[in-house]
């Protein structure tokens, strides 16, 4: 009977069966049965081995085919109603989602010249300007917070009454200086062929995730709206996210590339650092930034790197004209984040606290973002390829303003305004203490009487 069943199974799996092959199959069946019997006789402890049945091999092609759903449901109803096809997950889609999730969490490739290692493995590429130093007979330089408080134009204390401690108020001429930095930067970018774009501050989390930034988990720095009251939206951490989203599901013509966008926006970040150097203006929950974003082709494989170098040259010119002392670093692999293939940071010398502070970065993300957002370009022959995206910070206002004020301060606490900013401030050359700023005396909350 068992041999007959085996033969039947052979017959069912074969379209054409010769007698020669049938005899061979029967012979193999007989030999395998003999070998199995001998093996069982030699294993005295076979009953102590846990029983393990292979996983069932269901006909998933039939079960998961939507065209068979009604027939399966009807059959279940006709068979005492045991089973529920609606409870069976779409295994193919589940596997597909798991696959896409796993692939989506993988970082971009690393450039061959990117140093491997931690932050201290960064390579010094360029050093620009001269370091501001003080001699022994000169008073110590003031920090940005001390300068702002002396001038009466910066408030970082008592801000928790409104927003929390990692924020600030610029007043009077410091507020003007902020706007001057933005205008100076935008004017220069327009001369370099950038198109100015006004971007939304709210984005769907899928767009932000596709750009390579986490919106959930312990490492997420993105603010998310309350989904119980609003749609699932996030505040942008940089206008790079909004600019990348602008090109989603778009196809550009290769003759129109590269496209260079610039945006001025507020940036919102849930910073968690409590280091002394990070307090005040260096790490804040919201700030203004001018961002550069480029979309280019990948026909030769060098377009992205060429555009990246162009953005770095722009950054160096902007900061040089502000009279800053800064260094350009090629960042190591652990500092690239998920989307960057290659990244350069620019750190300015903060003379009061004697440390290098990052004021800008530029990254070539190759096709990391474009593959997730379906950003493509058409070649002259009509082929569709994924674009390369490149981004760079033209001016992160608080940190740049911090470097400018500390570098150009005078002994009396006044600040010399760089010449390139003076035309944006009605010709004003020096920021001095003003009597126009209201003098406020705050009562500490822990002394308030109930």
Residue 351: phi, psi to the nearest 5?
Answer: -65, -30
> Running DSSP on this structure, what letter comes out for residue 270?
-
Greatest CA span in the chain, whole angstroms? Answer: 110
CA–CA gap between residue 85 and residue 403 (Å, rounded): 65
Across residues 375-403, what is the average pLDDT? Answer: 96
User: What is residue 87's predicted lDDT score, i.e. its pLDDT?
Assistant: 73
pTM for the predicted model, two decimal places = 0.77
Say which range, 196-210, 398-412, 428-442, has the weakest mean pLDDT: 428-442
CA–CA gap between residue 368 and residue 387 (Å, rounded): 9
Whole-angstrom distance between the N-terminal and C-terminal Cα of the chain? 94
User: What is residue 410's predicted lDDT score, i.e. its pLDDT?
Assistant: 95
- The per-residue pLDDT for range 143-181, each reduced to its tens digit, is 998 999 899 888 777 665 666 667 778 888 999 999 999
CA–CA gap between residue 211 and residue 214 (Å, rounded): 9
231 by Cβ neighbours in 10 Å (0-12 / 13-18 / 19+) ranks as exposed
Give start and end residues of each alpha helix (H) in 205-298. Answer: 205-210, 239-246
16 by Cβ neighbours in 10 Å (0-12 / 13-18 / 19+) ranks as exposed
- 337: phi > 0 → left, psi -120 to 50 → alpha, else beta; which? left
Which is more confident, 141 or 273? Answer: 141
Say which range, 72-86, 265-279, 399-413, 425-439, has the weakest mean pLDDT: 265-279
């Amino acid at each position: 009977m068992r041999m007959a069943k085996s033969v039947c199974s052979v017959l069912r799996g074969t379209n054409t069966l010769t007698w020669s092959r049938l005899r061979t199959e029967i012979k193999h069946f007989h030999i395998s049965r003999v070998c199995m019997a001998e093996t069982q006789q030699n294993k005295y402890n076979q009953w102590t081995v846990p029983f393990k049945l292979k996983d069932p091999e269901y006909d998933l092609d039939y079960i998961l085919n939507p065209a068979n759903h009604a027939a399966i449901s009807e059959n279940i109803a006709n068979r005492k109603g045991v089973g529920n096809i609606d409870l069976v997950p779409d295994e193919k889609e589940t596997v597909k989602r798991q696959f896409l999730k796993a692939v989506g969490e993988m970082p971009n490739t690393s450039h061959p010249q990117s140093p491997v290692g931690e932050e201290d493995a960064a390579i010094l590429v360029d050093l620009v300007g001269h370091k501001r130093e003080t001699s022994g007979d000169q008073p110590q330089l003031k920090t940005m917070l001390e300068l702002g408080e002396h001038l009466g134009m910066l408030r970082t204390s008592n801000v928790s009454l409104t927003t929390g401690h990692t924020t600030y108020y610029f007043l009077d001429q410091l507020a003007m200086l902020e706007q001057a930095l933005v205008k100076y930067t935008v004017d220069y970018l327009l001369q370099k062929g950038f198109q100015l774009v006004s971007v939304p501050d709210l984005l769907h989390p899928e767009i932000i995730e596709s750009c390579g930034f986490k919106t959930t988990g312990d490492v997420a720095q993105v603010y998310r709206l309350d989904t119980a009251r609003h749609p699932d939206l996030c505040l942008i951490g940089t206008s790079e996210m909004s600019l990348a989203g602008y090109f989603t599901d778009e196809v550009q013509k290769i003759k129109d590339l590269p496209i260079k966008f610039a945006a001025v926006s507020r940036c919102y970040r849930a910073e968690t650092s409590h280091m002394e150097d990070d307090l005040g203006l260096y790490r804040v929950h919201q700030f203004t930034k001018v961002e550069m974003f480029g979309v280019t082709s990948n026909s030769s494989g060098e377009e992205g790197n060429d555009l990246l170098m162009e953005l770095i040259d722009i950054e160096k010119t902007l900061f040089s004209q502000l009279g800053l002392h800064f260094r350009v670093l090629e960042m190591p692999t652990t500092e690239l984040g998920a989307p960057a293939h290659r990244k350069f940071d620019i750190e300015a010398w903060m003379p009061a606290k004697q440390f290098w502070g990052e004021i800008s970065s530029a990254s070539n993300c190759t096709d990391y973002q474009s593959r997730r957002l379906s950003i493509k370009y058409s070649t002259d022959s009509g082929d569709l390829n994924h674009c390369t995206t490149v981004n760079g910070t033209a001016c992160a206002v608080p940190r740049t303003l911090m470097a400018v004020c500390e570098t150009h301060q005078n002994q009396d606490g006044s600040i010399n305004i760089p010449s390139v900013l003076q035309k944006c401030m009605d010709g004003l050359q020096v920021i001095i203490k003003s009597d126009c700023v209201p003098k406020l005396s705050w009562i500490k909350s822990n002394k308030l009487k109930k």
